[in-house]
Structure 1
């Protein structure tokens, strides 16, 4: 499988998204980031995310992170049946990630509350209550067991299960009426690797040359004495 793609399975259908990759330099370490944009998914659905493992040929993996970012959008139509309605429609959402290969600590959960401002809807009329909320959660891994599980050869991947669950609650008076709407979560999952790179060949050669010159100079000085 091309590491620049992910395979997502949602309700029996196949979906694809691009994995973005970037590098950054921090002192003596490098950081490599892969991000999968899962797009917009309804609540109470599940899918798989495929992310690249760290390529161990690049160096020594020091620390790994898995990060989940999500924005929950809700739009609920309300038709009050008895009297005017004053209130809102709040959505509690949970975005849970499970990484089976990290047997010791495989779960990561983000909780998001989308609570739109209150509004008034006249009896017999229909109004739409809309709102959104965003959140981010990250977990780090530095145990040898986890780092070994997340390392591999170029092109190796691991699978994470992503599940979005939640419910929308009508808050206000009166609560009798007709309700309908849509709630979706826009989610991105990232794998971030901090590693110590393999020394470049010329750097290693330079080190040996410097060491050799030092020994030669020391011996030369001894002969003069």
Structure 2
């Protein structure tokens, strides 16, 4: 009898053990599934995210190329018409970005009216500079030759026929408001923004904001 009771006790004790084992297996399966699912999601993420980024970047590169080619075409048609060329600058350049980069801390010295006047004059100044540098093409259209990415911006290289020579110009564009806009251009290794910043800030220190605006007016009308 004692042996029988011991057997029953042993069998009774085995039932909770089987249940615990089943629960443990179920938990393990859940953890394994969760781990595998998470791993699969990460795999998809790391495989397809670069492809999505590459596609988006490719679209931005194409848009930037078209923007520069359009700029060259419109500037070529404008010729020496400063008003038309100024409109080309407004359409394709990020004027606000240029103004902020060029004036820097010196912008604090401007009154509201002086700053508004500077922003009004600036596109015509850039247009006049463009014509002085590249206006001798005799109707020959420049061309885009290369596009690459630089620190989140797009650099579009073009060749522009000028007076007696062909200029290689690197246009730096940034996506602003969903569209590529010119934020700088470099020719002969010289950045237009850096050059203007040095020149303009020097004039501000010498003759103040009004003196700089007078300089722009004189240059535009020359």
Q: Could you state the TM-score of these two structures normalised by the residue count of structure 2? A: 0.19
Greater helix share, structure number: 2
Higher relative contact order (CA 8 A, sep 6+): 1
Larger Rg: 2
Choose between structure 1 and 2: higher strand proportion. Answer: 1
With the length of structure 1 as denominator, give the TM-score of the two structures: 0.19
